[in-house]
């Protein structure tokens, strides 16, 4: 579930540098925290790849090159991670997209940014909608749209809860967008946020849910962890071409790994037919600096998966020393 915005560009077109300047004035923490506005770029696996946070000469050159080549960007608050606001340029339009559920702060920030951008483009009108169906609206309705955004988030959280309870969620959890990386939400998470509370017409409970959800989204993504992913390669085996998935497990690094590879967010959202994948392997580097391949199921059995810290509904955290790796591949 997502919301899209289109704003017509003026003759003197707005570029990403202007967006960066305007986002600093729009980025808001709804619960009073200090903001740290950022623009980032994600990779093909929906992980934050680059974020622009310093001003060294080398960094500015890297930023310049990225701004020239990137097709879309993520607006976010480095002090308060949510799902991020996607932005891109298309023909004569500035396009934005917010995914639901999203945080209260991002809903407010989105519409503050829309208002500021409309002023920059000398208009009060913009298009708002989803799945290609847009309605022409104006900035006098922004407060109403913020309320709709909160309602859409609560609807989505409730839908997630029902899908899990009714057995319509793979592995009993549902994946959503995060700024730093995708996240898998469990029924326990939803209950912790207050989704068992009566919400209709109860602003106190609604505020509780929105604040708890926002706190969760920020705290889980602020951790200094590496989100590892499976990459697919075609190989020749007995005159037949097969597809295998490989994931690199770094040494002495707190790494997020999947429990079940086939349910990974980037496979699901791209509707990839995982039945085509022959096997999954973990890549470990031994004490001699050589990469060793081990079937992923065997790898999980050798690291005592049940004893590892859970990251979210579909992932766990592991840190392996060289000695640990030598024991695994012995």
- Same domain membership, residue 268 and residue 184: no
Q: Are residues 46 and 153 in the same domain?
A: yes
**Exposure string over 203-238, b if 16+ CB within 10 A, otherwise e:** eebbeebbbbbbebbbebbeeebebbbbeeeeeeee
Q: Answer with the one of 222, 250, 268 that is the final residue of a domain.
A: 222
State the chain's mean pLDDT as an integer.
Answer: 92
The answer for residues whose C-beta is within 8 angstroms of residue 323's C-beta and 6 or more apart is none
Q: Is the pLDDT of residue 311 over 90?
A: yes
Give me the mean pLDDT over the 146-166 stretch: 96
Whether the Cβ atoms of residue 131 and residue 169 lie closer than 8 Å to each other: no
Between strands 226-227 and 255-258, the pairing is: parallel
Q: How many domains does the chain have?
A: 2
Is residue 236 scored above 50 in pLDDT? yes
E-strand stretches of 84-230: 85-90, 93-99, 125-130, 133-138, 173-176, 183-186, 226-227
Average pLDDT over residues 217-228: 96
Shared domain check, 218 and 230: no
Q: Half-sphere exposure of residue 224, counting CA atoms within 13 Å on the CB side?
A: 2
Domain that holds residue 209: 1-222
Percent of the chain with pLDDT over 70: 96
* Average pLDDT over every residue of 166-181: 92
pTM reported for the whole predicted model: 0.92
Query: How far is the C-alpha of 96 from the C-alpha of 27, rounded, in Å?
Result: 15
Average pLDDT of span 63-79 = 84
113 & 213 share domain: yes
Of 222, 253, 274, which residue constitutes the final position of a domain? Answer: 222
Judgement on whether residues 260 and 147 belong to the same structural domain of the protein: no
Picking from 202, 222, 242, the residue at the C-terminal end of a domain is 222
* pLDDT for res 57: 59
Verify that 118 and 191 share a domain, yes or no.
yes
CB-based burial label for 35 (10 Å; 0-12, 13-18, 19+): middle
Inform me whether the pLDDT recorded for 52 exceeds 80. Answer: no
């Amino acid at each position: 579930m997502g919301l899209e915005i289109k704003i017509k560009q003026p003759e003197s077109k707005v570029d990403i540098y202007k967006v960066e300047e305007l986002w600093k004035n729009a980025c808001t923490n709804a619960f009073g925290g200090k903001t740290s506005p950022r623009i980032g770029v994600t990779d093909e696996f929906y992980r934050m790849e680059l974020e622009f946070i310093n001003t060294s000469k080398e960094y500015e050159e890297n930023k310049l090159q990225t701004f020239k080549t990137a097709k879309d960007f993520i607006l976010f608050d480095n002090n308060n991670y949510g799902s991020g606001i996607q932005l891109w340029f298309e023909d004569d339009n500035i396009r934005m997209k917010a995914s639901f559920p999203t945080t209260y702060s991002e809903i407010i920030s989105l519409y503050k940014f829309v208002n500021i951008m409309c002023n920059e483009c000398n208009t009060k009108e913009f298009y708002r909608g989803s799945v290609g169906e847009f309605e022409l609206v104006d900035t006098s309705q922004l407060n109403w749209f913020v309320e709709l955004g909160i309602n859409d988030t609560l609807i989505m959280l409730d839908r997630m809860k029902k899908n899990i309870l009714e057995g319509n969620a793979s592995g009993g959890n549902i994946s959503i967008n995060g700024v730093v990386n995708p996240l898998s939400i469990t029924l326990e998470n939803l209950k912790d946020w207050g989704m068992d509370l009566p919400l209709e017409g109860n602003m106190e409970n609604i505020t509780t849910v929105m604040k708890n959800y926002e706190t969760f989204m920020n705290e889980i993504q602020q951790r200094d962890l590496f989100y590892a992913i499976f990459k697919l390669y075609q190989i020749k085996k007995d005159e037949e071409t097969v597809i295998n998935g490989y994931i690199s497990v770094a040494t002495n690094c707190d790494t997020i790994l999947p429990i079940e590879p086939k349910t990974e967010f980037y496979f699901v959202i791209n509707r990839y037919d995982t039945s085509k994948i022959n096997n999954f392997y973990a890549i470990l580097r031994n004490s001699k600096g050589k990469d060793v391949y081990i079937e992923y199921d065997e790898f999980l059995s050798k690291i005592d998966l049940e004893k590892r810290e859970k990251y979210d509904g579909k992932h766990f955290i592991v840190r392996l020393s060289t000695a640990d790796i030598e024991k695994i591949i012995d």
